[in-house]
Amino acid sequence: MSTSVLTPDHVIALVEAVQRADSALGLLQATQALAAAAHPGGASCLVEVLGFNNPGAAVAAVDGLIAIGEPAVDTILTNIDGYNYGARAWAVRALAGIGDVRGFEVLEDALGNDIGPSVRRAAARGLGQLKLDRLAPSQRCATAERCLQALVEGCRDGEWVVRYAVVVGLESLAPALHPELLEGPAAQQRLHEALIGLWRNPAEEAPVVQLRAALALQRLGVSHG
């Protein structure tokens, strides 16, 4: 549904439908309708749904928040529930999907410290896809360096799905580390070395991680013969 044809009354009605839902299926359907509207006025309600014990509705809410995009970021950050692990995990997924730099610290912390592999995986992908070009040059350099450091440390994650996501994150981050954007080639070299390390790791239990690292190196034009 296009936000251009939505009136405030329409959004209020969609929110109220979520609040009135009295079954798991009803909540899912109402959340899907609100998410499809992709209207900033529904962001607070969608964030609230993240804390409900309804994974289907949470997935729909995450999709809706990502569709809303940057206007939803402050609402997500303001309402992250440190006492509700499930809600925080879904919030990380939403921030990763949006890619706004305001979510950087949450993603950084999630990759390094979250207990859930799926959350760390989302954070790794998100760190590689942040819209760093929106920052001033000095901030862009500092944030890109921190993204790189978090991903390099993520190479040692004990779960292969996270290491795979780290490869994706590193490849996505590479353009932001170009020597023309940062001072010197050191950061780009570290990124290449991290990918080569994942590709050559003799202890890697999941060959798909090595294959994905090799693909990333090939796409980046890095010799790793």
Model pLDDT for residues 43-66, shown as the tens digit of each residue: 999 999 999 989 999 999 999 999
Can you tell me the mean pLDDT for 195-215? 96
Statement: residue 1 has pLDDT above 60: no
Q: How far apart are CA 178 and CA 185, in angstroms?
A: 7
Can you tell me the mean pLDDT for 131-152? 92
CATH topology of domain 1-82: Leucine-rich Repeat Variant (1.25.10)
Can you tell me the mean pLDDT for 2-15? 80
Query: Tens digits of per-residue pLDDT, 11-40?
Result: 999 999 999 999 999 999 999 999 999 999
The pLDDT of residue 2 is: 47
Statement: residue 224 has pLDDT above 70: no
Query: Tens digits of per-residue pLDDT, 146-167?
Result: 999 999 999 999 999 999 999 9
Helix 137-154 and helix 160-173, axial crossing angle in degrees, nearest 10: 150
Query: Does the global pTM surpass 0.75?
Result: yes
Alpha-helical segments (H) within the chain: 8-20, 24-37, 43-49, 55-68, 73-78, 85-98, 104-113, 117-128, 137-154, 160-173, 186-200, 207-219
The pLDDT of residue 183 is: 61
Query: Tens digits of per-residue pLDDT, 94-112?
Result: 999 999 999 999 999 999 9
Classified as helix, coil or strand, 113 is helix
CA dist list (Å): 39 to 33, 52, 93, 143, 187: 11, 21, 19, 29, 39
Q: How far apart are CA 214 and CA 216, in angstroms?
A: 5
The pLDDT of residue 181 is: 63
% of the chain at pLDDT higher than 90: 80
Statement: residue 184 has pLDDT above 70: no
CB 34 within 8 A of CB 45: yes
Q: Where are the domains of the chain?
A: 1-82, 131-225
Which residue type sits at 188? Q
